[in-house]
Amino acid sequence: MIVLGIETTCDETAAAVVERFEDGRGKILSNVVLSQVSEHAAFGGVVPEIAARAHVEVLDIIIARAMEQAGVGYDRIDGVAAAAGPGLIGGVIVGLTTAKAIALVRNKPLVAVNHLEAHALTARLTDATPFPYCLFLASGGHTQIVAVRGVGDYVRLGTTQDDAIGEAFDKTAKLLGLGYPGGPQVEKEAERGNPGRFALPRPMRHRKEADFSLSGLKTALRLEAEKIAPLSDQDVADLCASFQQAIVDVVFDRLRAGLRLFRARFGAPNALVAAGGVAANQAIRKVLNRLAFEVGTTLVAPPLELCTDNGAMIAWAGAERLALGLTDTLDVAPRARWPLDEIAAAEGALRRTAAYK
Ligand code: KG4
Ligand code: ZN
């Protein structure tokens, strides 16, 4: 089964073609991503209106390129998938409407994919990870610990009460005058900094539930920076290192709580799966590895280009749903807000999911 996938929920315009084989394995035939980072950099973050307009301008070309690189014509495509949310609504409308048009004209089934579900299922494309597994999703917009039990069957075990982890990295970078996106810059600065110089809080530590809260950490960092301003290069590096260490400690503690909840409710997970741009951070990857080892499971961290937003994950989620007969009608609505655990799994799908573990 071959599916075209379209992603436009944030600042990447992406399209991809993915094949899903009978045995449940997957293969990426093409994966084209155009990042809008340069168009938003001057504003220190994504500007929704600019993003939506940029998607309109390039999406047709990106789709044509994905089809060409895959070397398949529309006659070989079994379905068209688009991220229908959650995300910036202008961009979501662009991607979903385009997918509807293709589905209508080419007479193909449409699959409206939840962007978070696509992140959640990527490990099955890259590593054929069997259900159930524990997902740690950390990006600029999301920080979640999720029990992934089947296609359409997600239980959120923890989330952030305020900022997402990627957002905290971006705000730290902005505060310290580093560029956007902030994660990679903060990580680079942290390498030559002293992580023990500033005593920053580790919010929610030792709580039984697996939620995050990062705004207190952000404020504490700002106060430390203000105390010693003007900042030298070494001050910036030390602040970055201290911030990153606090995040690493928080991830370890919160995810350990999440894995405990997972085990208590669903038994041992088959893997700890990392997704989202933050999973690119080497210090965070290291702590995820340590944690996986500690709880006796393995870490599945898809390659970086599949951790960040891309079309292949949408096409793959579309293929997984299509394989279960889960399609959408052309009047399906785009959604700015769409929590993972609100995904209504068709009753039959759940039963069949169990069969194709
Ligand atoms: O998944 P993603 O590409 O886009 C969405 O937000 O959906 O994630 C981007 C986020 C940004 O906040 C960025 O600062 C963060 O991931 N990020 C990192 C690193 N690389 C990207 N955070 C920490 N360390 C990194 N190396
Ligand atoms: Zn994402």
Quick: pLDDT tens for 145-175.
Answer: 999 999 999 999 999 999 999 999 999 999 9
Whole-number pLDDT of residue 351: 43
Please give the distance, rounded to the nearest whole angstrom, from the Cα atom of residue 196 to the centre of ligand 2: 32
Q: Which ligand is nearest to the CA of 118?
A: 2
Token digits of residue 211:
């939620």
Mutate to test the pocket of ligand 1, among 10, 46, 139 (most ligand atoms within 8 A of CB): 139
The predicted-structure confidence for 318-337, as pLDDT tens digits, reads as follows: 999 999 999 999 999 999 99
**Do the beta carbons of residue 5 and residue 16 sit within 8 Å?**
yes
Q: Label residue 255 left, alpha or beta by phi (over 0 means left) and psi (-120 to 50 means alpha).
A: alpha
Give me ligand 1 centre to Cα 183, in Å.
6
Which numbered atom of ligand 1 lies nearest the CA of 141?
A: 6
Q: Which two tokens stand for residue 276?
A: 């989202």
Q: In sequence order, which residues have a C-beta less than 8 Å from that of residue 255 and are 6 or more positions away?
A: 136, 145, 210, 272, 288, 291
Task: Return the number of other C-beta atoms located less than 10 Å from residue 44's C-beta.
Answer: 15
d(CA 35, ligand 1 centre) in Å: 13
Q: Can you give the pLDDT at residue 50?
A: 81
How many Cα atoms within 13 Å fall on the side-chain side of residue 162? 11
| Ligand with minimal distance to 305 CA | 1
The residue count of the chain comes to 357
Could you report the per-residue pLDDT of 83-120, keeping only the tens digit for each? 999 999 999 999 999 999 999 999 999 999 999 999 99
Ligand of minimum distance to the alpha carbon of 114: 2
Residue 234 CA: distances (Å) to CA of 169, 171, 229, 237: 18, 19, 12, 5
For the chain, which ranges sit under pLDDT 70?
A: 344-357
Which atom of ligand 1 is closest in space to residue 307's alpha carbon?
Answer: 1
Percent pLDDT > 90 in the chain is 85
Q: Which ligand is nearest to the CA of 311?
A: 2
Phi/psi of residue 272, nearest 5 degrees: -100, 120
Contact between 10 and 276 (Cβ < 8 Å): no
Virtual CA dihedral for 219, 225, 226, 229, nearest 10 degrees?
A: -170
Q: What is the pTM of this model?
A: 0.92
CA of 184 to the centre of ligand 1 (A): 8
User: Which residues does ligand 1 sit against, CB inside 6 Å?
Assistant: 10, 139-141, 166-167, 169-170, 181-184, 187, 276-278, 280-281, 308-309
Determine the pLDDT at residue 52.
Answer: 84
Ligand 1 atom closest to 115 (CA): 7
Task: Choose which residue among 135, 278, 281 to substitute to test ligand 1 binding: the one with the highest number of ligand atoms within 8 A of its C-beta.
Answer: 278
What pLDDT is attached to residue 344?
A: 62
CA-nearest residue, atom 10 of ligand 1: 140
How far is residue 99's CA from residue 88's CA, in Å, rounded to a whole number?
17
Q: CA-to-CA distance for 351 and 42, rounded, in angstroms?
A: 49
